[in-house]
């Protein structure tokens, strides 16, 4: 706490103090009586006479502070130190809210000083100390109390000044009696046996008994009473207390007098002679009956208020905003514990005045106190909702209070506060719901529409007006206007549904096209219900309308897409069926033709060989057409997967040149040597090879006689480019525009150039699927250049050249006997396979014509390999392979599917079901023999 400034004449003041010789003297009855009188006159529990030395405050007399451990304290923490420079009476109304004393140990600790008043002790013109009164409650003395304290301080000053001049005993006695009469008290003395030896004359005025009548009588014993006149309990009595021979202060008992039973408050000190022998008591007494009666009334009123307030769901309070803005609770109901977790104010201690401010939510704390102070100044009612944080939880509090001016200054608020968390949460949830609904309605374009049947008038909110193309607020808009704006093709259905809803009191649900005033058209959706009047008859409708123009367009797109997908699936199924039906006879045609061509035992005549070669070319052309159609369908449906790995374009070109060289030699076209330096792209190796083979074969087929095909490799910023250039007739712009149309060969079919018209279509789509592009540049008579662009890549770490897996060396036929089971129901296919196997006499072929027969044969005899058709009369190939894999006797057999079904989904399903391989018909005899040899070597 900040120390008080020193008086200007501090050295003279200290000299005067030391000259009195009073410091460190023994307690004196006269000073003790003055301190007691000051406490009782001012109604405070503590009073003291103190003197201020250079570094200490020394207590000459103390009343009511029985447990004061020492008779001096440091001057720096003294309240009385401020009296030296106060120019008169020094008062502190509430030390806890005074920055000079709020942290004093006597405020924060015993005796918990709140109210203080000190009158200066002046001797020879110097202030030597103070006569002070102290209360544990905030206090402001009234004028009479201030005057009494000043007068008593003057008496104490005179006693100090005359310490070296002994006044006549009678003068001092008369003086004290005057003080007693002024205060309305009487004074008394007893002997060691507690019999009255003297009673002052004031006794008769109070009790109606003469002092002489009680002199020599035993001080009456009575139970000790509390502040409400009720026995303290425990058998405590006045005599038992006096037997301790210790000072007593304001001890209350009943006293029977001529005027009835009075409540008397006594204070006394024991008297001892020079030998230390107890000789009796000397004390004062006061009639406190009126005070106790008032306390009882106040207590009864308080109890009644407490009972009433306990039934109120909140806190009833009185708050005194003092003149300096300090809050002081004169009353708060017991609900304070439940609401704020603190005790309500008791015995005028003001309670925990800062509890609300401590708990305030940070967002509500800024203007909380300023708003209360503003309402105090204007003397207007105060209502506020705010949040507090208690135990980590946020609670909403509502307070309502009305003000009045306080007699001692400031504003006294009469108020009520309650927990409104549940209500606020409901309000906030409702508000949040409304905001979400508003946002959702705005985002979804939902408007509100109402219809009044009596007037036929329709009312739209802003969104509903926007949906109908009307200005908000709309003018006189009638039901007939609304119906007239509906598209003629939708009007009848909407009107019929409206009439049905009104007739049944039900719901109206309709989607319709609306002609807006600006000529535009929108698709709206309405949901409405009837509003019912008397006799439950519809008087109107209320509902929502929503602009679903985009949604309707999306739904149409979805329907169109689904229809296209159905058509695509139907096309794929058709192509699959066509492929299967064509491959089955082709298998016989090409298979037997190949067998005839390679037959060395019965070779054909040259003319027959040429005719057979024409059959083979026609069959292969038909097979190529079927394969291209399936590839195109697969690409359109994205029914394929492409890898994205580093591909050496130079190596791929070398492979393609090796494969295409016989075709070039046959056509008399020269293939310029391909680039040999590695160029890496990110692509699918097989797809790149397929595209390049197509481009190279076209460059050969459509070249001029003795023409040249050139290939260049180059790199851009992010792409690799492969350009294939021929020296053919070239293409016009019209031809280039139709170049990538399926089956459009641009008239090449008239020149009898082989082809299907699908190769470039497939090549372009494969390029796009790899993130690349296929373009053409050409001029009539100048040849054409097809450029494939692919994402650039880098060489993989440790990459090595691998031989083309399609060109393995044919294995030597095994000399060991092998058993092969062929499950096939088509006799022509069986005959073909039997002919193929004749070239390998060490391979025995067994036939089963249905699934059950194949399953029985596989279980009855060991076979090295099973060839299984996927379409059998009693079961399909998937069912058969599952049965084989489920049987321990056949689960380890090597099984290869041999089918005319060539769709990728069918192949994938077969491999997933357990087949070790999948071969498609028609077969290539040489490849078949090679594949069989590899399978039987395993």
Task: List residues bridging with 50 in a β-sheet.
Answer: 59, 130
Contact between 921 and 877 (Cβ < 8 Å):
no
500 pLDDT tier (thresholds 50, 70, 90)? very high
Of 682, 694, 677, 560, which is closest to residue 624 (Cα–Cα)? Answer: 694
Taking the CA atoms of residue 692, residue 696, residue 698 and residue 703 in that order, the dihedral angle to the nearest 10 degrees is: 160
Query: Which two three-digit tokens encode residue 126?
Result: 């110097």
Tell me how far CA of residue 540 lies from CA of 312, 332, 484, 494, in angstroms.
46, 55, 19, 16
Least confident range of 119-123, 299-303, 632-636: 632-636
Say yes or no to pLDDT of 10 above 50.
Answer: yes
Q: What is the DSSP string of 670-689?
A: EEPPPP-S--EEEE-HHHHH
Percent share of the chain, pLDDT over 70 = 87
Q: What is the DSSP string of 283-300?
A: EEEEE-HHHHHHHHHHHH
Mean predicted confidence (pLDDT) in 859-872: 92
Q: Does 276 or 681 have the greater pLDDT score? A: 681
Highest mean pLDDT among 527-541, 659-673, 786-800, 852-866: 852-866
Say yes or no to pLDDT of 428 above 60.
Answer: yes
Say yes or no to pLDDT of 788 above 90.
Answer: yes
Which residue reads 């009680």 in tokens?
A: 214
How distant is the alpha carbon of residue 157 from its chain centre? 73
Q: Does 637 or 458 have the greater pLDDT score? A: 458
pTM: 0.35
533 pLDDT tier (thresholds 50, 70, 90)? confident
Q: What is the pLDDT of residues 229-240, one digit of tens each?
A: 999 888 899 999
Question: 3-class DSSP state for residue 189?
Answer: strand
DSSP-H helix ranges across 409-452: 421-444
**pLDDT of 138:** 92
Least confident range of 20-29, 176-185, 311-320, 624-633: 176-185
Task: Determine which helix (DSSP H) or strand (DSSP E) holds 879, and give its type and residue range.
Answer: helix 877-886
Residue burial 124-154, b: 16+ Cβ < 10 Å; e: rest: eebbbbbbbbbbbbbbebeeebbebbebbbe
247 pLDDT tier (thresholds 50, 70, 90)? very high
Q: What is the pLDDT of residues 321-362, one digit of tens each?
A: 888 888 899 888 888 888 898 988 887 788 888 889 899 999
Q: What is the pLDDT of residues 68-114, one digit of tens each?
A: 767 888 888 899 989 888 888 999 999 988 888 888 888 888 888 99
917 pLDDT tier (thresholds 50, 70, 90)? very high
618 pLDDT tier (thresholds 50, 70, 90)? low
DSSP-H helix ranges across 668-740: 685-701, 733-737
Percent share of the chain, pLDDT over 90 = 35
**pLDDT of 179:** 58
Question: 3-class DSSP state for residue 523?
Answer: strand
Mean predicted confidence (pLDDT) in 41-50: 92
Mean predicted confidence (pLDDT) in 271-283: 90
DSSP-H helix ranges across 186-334: 202-207, 211-214, 238-242, 289-310
Strands of 315-321's sheet, edge to edge? Answer: 327-332, 315-321, 411-419, 393-405, 382-390
**pLDDT of 110:** 84
Mean predicted confidence (pLDDT) in 302-313: 72
Mean predicted confidence (pLDDT) in 912-917: 93
Tell me how far CA of residue 394 lies from CA of 79, 311, 361, 419, 474, in angstroms.
42, 24, 8, 11, 46
What is the rounded distance in angstroms from the CA atom of residue 565 to the CA atom of residue 366?
A: 65
Tell me how far CA of residue 565 lies from CA of 560, 637, 870, 904, in angstroms.
9, 9, 26, 18
Least confident range of 9-13, 108-112, 182-186, 633-637: 633-637
Mean predicted confidence (pLDDT) in 587-591: 73
Tell me how far CA of residue 400 lies from CA of 366, 416, 424, in angstroms.
19, 6, 16
Average pLDDT over all residues of the chain: 84
Q: What is the pLDDT of residues 137-167, one digit of tens each?
A: 998 999 989 998 999 999 999 888 887 554 4
Q: Does 468 or 173 have the greater pLDDT score? A: 468
Q: What is the pLDDT of residues 188-199, one digit of tens each?
A: 999 999 999 999
Contact between 328 and 410 (Cβ < 8 Å):
no
Q: What is the pLDDT of residues 729-752, one digit of tens each?
A: 888 888 877 777 765 545 444 444
Say yes or no to pLDDT of 768 above 90.
Answer: no
What is the rounded distance in angstroms from the CA atom of residue 923 to the CA atom of residue 907?
A: 16
What is the rounded distance in angstroms from the CA atom of residue 462 to the CA atom of residue 471?
A: 8
How distant is the alpha carbon of residue 801 from its chain centre? 57
What is the rounded distance in angstroms from the CA atom of residue 474 to the CA atom of residue 453?
A: 18
Q: What is the DSSP string of 499-522?
A: HHHHHHT-EEEEEEEEE-TTS-EE
What is the rounded distance in angstroms from the CA atom of residue 272 to the CA atom of residue 88?
A: 38
Least confident range of 381-395, 448-462, 544-558: 544-558
Mean predicted confidence (pLDDT) in 714-722: 90
Query: Which two three-digit tokens encode residue 519?
Result: 């000529």
Mean predicted confidence (pLDDT) in 536-554: 87
Say yes or no to pLDDT of 172 above 60.
Answer: no
Mean predicted confidence (pLDDT) in 616-637: 64
Task: Determine which helix (DSSP H) or strand (DSSP E) holds 910, and give its type and residue range.
Answer: helix 904-913
Least confident range of 432-446, 569-583, 635-649, 795-809: 795-809
Instruction: Name 546's Cβ contacts closer than 8 Å, sequence gap at least 6.
Output: 444, 445, 446, 447, 467, 524, 525, 526
Say yes or no to pLDDT of 725 above 90.
Answer: yes
Question: 3-class DSSP state for residue 758?
Answer: coil
Query: Which two three-digit tokens encode residue 669?
Result: 């076209």
């Amino acid at each position: 706490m900040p120390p008080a400034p020193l008086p200007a004449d501090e050295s003279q003041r200290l000299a005067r103090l030391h000259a009195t010789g009073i410091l460190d003297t023994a307690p004196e009855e006269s000073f003790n009586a003055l301190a007691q009188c000051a406490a009782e006159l001012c109604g405070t529990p503590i009073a003291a006479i103190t003197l201020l030395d250079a570094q200490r405050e020394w207590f000459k007399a103390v009343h009511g502070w029985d447990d004061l451990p020492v008779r001096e304290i440091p001057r720096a923490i003294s309240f009385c130190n401020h009296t030296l420079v106060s120019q008169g009476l020094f008062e502190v109304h509430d030390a806890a809210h005074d920055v000079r004393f709020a942290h004093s140990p006597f405020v924060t600790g015993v005796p918990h000083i709140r109210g203080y008043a000190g009158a200066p002790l002046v001797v020879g013109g110097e202030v030597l100390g103070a006569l002070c009164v102290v209360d544990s409650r905030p206090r402001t003395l009234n004028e009479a109390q201030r005057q009494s304290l000043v007068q008593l301080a003057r008496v104490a000053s005179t006693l100090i000044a005359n310490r070296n001049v002994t006044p006549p005993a009678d003068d001092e006695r008369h003086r004290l009696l005057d003080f007693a009469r002024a205060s309305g008290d009487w004074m008394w003395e007893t002997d060691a046996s507690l019999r009255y030896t003297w009673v002052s004359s004031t006794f008769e005025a109070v009790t109606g008994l003469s002092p002489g009548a009680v002199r020599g009588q035993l001080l009456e014993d009575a139970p000790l009473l509390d502040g409400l006149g009720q026995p303290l309990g425990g058998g405590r009595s006045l005599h038992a207390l006096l037997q301790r021979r210790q000072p007593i202060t304001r001890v209350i008992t009943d006293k029977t007098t001529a005027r009835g039973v009075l409540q008397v408050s006594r204070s006394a000190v024991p008297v001892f002679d020079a030998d230390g022998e107890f000789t009796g008591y000397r004390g004062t007494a006061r009639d406190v009956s009126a005070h106790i009666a008032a306390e009882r009334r106040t207590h009864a009123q308080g109890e009644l208020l407490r009972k009433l307030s306990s039934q109120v769901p909140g806190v009833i309070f009185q708050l005194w905003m003092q003149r300096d803005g300090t809050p002081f609770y004169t009353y708060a109901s017991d609900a304070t514990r439940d609401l704020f977790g603190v005790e309500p104010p008791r015995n005028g201690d003001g309670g925990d005045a800062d509890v609300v401010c401590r708990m305030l939510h940070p967002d509500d704390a800024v203007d909380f106190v300023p708003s209360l102070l503003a309402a105090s100044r204007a003397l207007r009612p105060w209502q506020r909702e705010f949040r507090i944080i208690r135990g980590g939880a946020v609670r909403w509090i509502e307070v309502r209070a009305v003000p009045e001016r306080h007699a001692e200054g400031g504003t006294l608020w009469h108020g009520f506060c309650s927990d409104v968390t549940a209500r606020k949460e409901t309000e906030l949830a409702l508000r949040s719901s409304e905001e979400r609904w508003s946002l959702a309605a705005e985002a979804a374009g939902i408007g509100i529409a109402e219809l009044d049947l009596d007037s036929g008038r329709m009312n739209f909110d802003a969104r509903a007006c926007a949906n109908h193309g009307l200005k908000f607020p709309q003018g006189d808009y009638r039901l007939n206007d609304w119906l007239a704006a509906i598209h003629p093709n939708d009007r009848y259905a909407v009107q019929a549904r409206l009439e049905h809803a009104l007739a049944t009191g039900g719901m109206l649900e309709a989607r319709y096209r609306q002609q807006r005033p600006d000529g535009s058209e929108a698709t709206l959706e309405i949901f409405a219900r009837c509003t019912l009047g008397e006799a439950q008859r519809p008087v109107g409708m209320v509902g929502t309308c929503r602009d679903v123009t985009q949604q309707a367009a999306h739904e149409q797109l979805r329907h169109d897409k689904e229809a296209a997908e159905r058509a695509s699936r139907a096309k794929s199924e058709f192509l699959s069926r066509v492929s299967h039906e064509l491959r089955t006879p082709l298998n016989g045609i090409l298979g037997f033709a190949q067998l005839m061509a390679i037959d060395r035992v019965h070779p054909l005549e040259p003319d027959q060989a040429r005719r057979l070669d024409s059959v083979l070319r026609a069959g292969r052309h038909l097979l190529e057409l079927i394969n291209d159609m399936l590839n195109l369908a697969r690409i359109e449906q994205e029914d394929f997967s492409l890898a994205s790995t580093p591909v050496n374009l130079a190596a791929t070109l070398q492979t393609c040149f090796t494969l295409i060289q016989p075709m070039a030699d046959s056509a008399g076209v020269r293939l310029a040597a391909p680039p040999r330096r590695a160029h890496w792209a990110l692509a699918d190796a097989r797809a790149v090879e397929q595209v390049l083979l197509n481009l190279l074969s076209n460059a050969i087929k459509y070249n001029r006689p003795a023409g040249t095909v050139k290939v260049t490799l180059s790199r851009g910023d992010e792409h690799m480019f492969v350009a294939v250039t021929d020296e053919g007739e070239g293409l016009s712009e019209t031809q280039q525009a139709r170049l990538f149309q399926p089956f459009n060969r641009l008239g090449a079919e008239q020149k009898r150039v082989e082809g299907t018209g699908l190769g470039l279509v497939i090549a372009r789509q494969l390029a796009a699927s790899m993130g690349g592009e296929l373009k053409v540049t050409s001029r009539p008579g100048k040849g054409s250049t097809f450029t494939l662009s692919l994402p650039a890549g880098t060489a993989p770490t440790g990459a090595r050249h691998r031989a083309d897996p399609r060109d393995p060396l044919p294995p030597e036929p095994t000399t060991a006997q092998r058993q092969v089971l062929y499950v096939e129901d088509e006799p022509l296919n069986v005959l073909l396979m039997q002919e193929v196997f004749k070239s390998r006499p060490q391979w025995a072929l067994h036939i089963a014509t249905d699934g059950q027969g194949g399953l029985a044969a596989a279980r009855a005899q060991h076979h090295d390999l099973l060839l299984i058709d996927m379409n059998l009369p009693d079961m399909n190939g998937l069912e058969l392979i599952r049965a084989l894999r489920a049987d321990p006797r056949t689960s380890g057999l090597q099984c290869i599917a041999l089918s005319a079904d060539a769709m990728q989904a069918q192949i994938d399903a077969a491999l997933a079901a357990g087949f070790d391989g999948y071969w498609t018909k028609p077969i290539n005899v040489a490849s078949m023999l090679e594949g069989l040899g590899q399978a039987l070597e395993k």
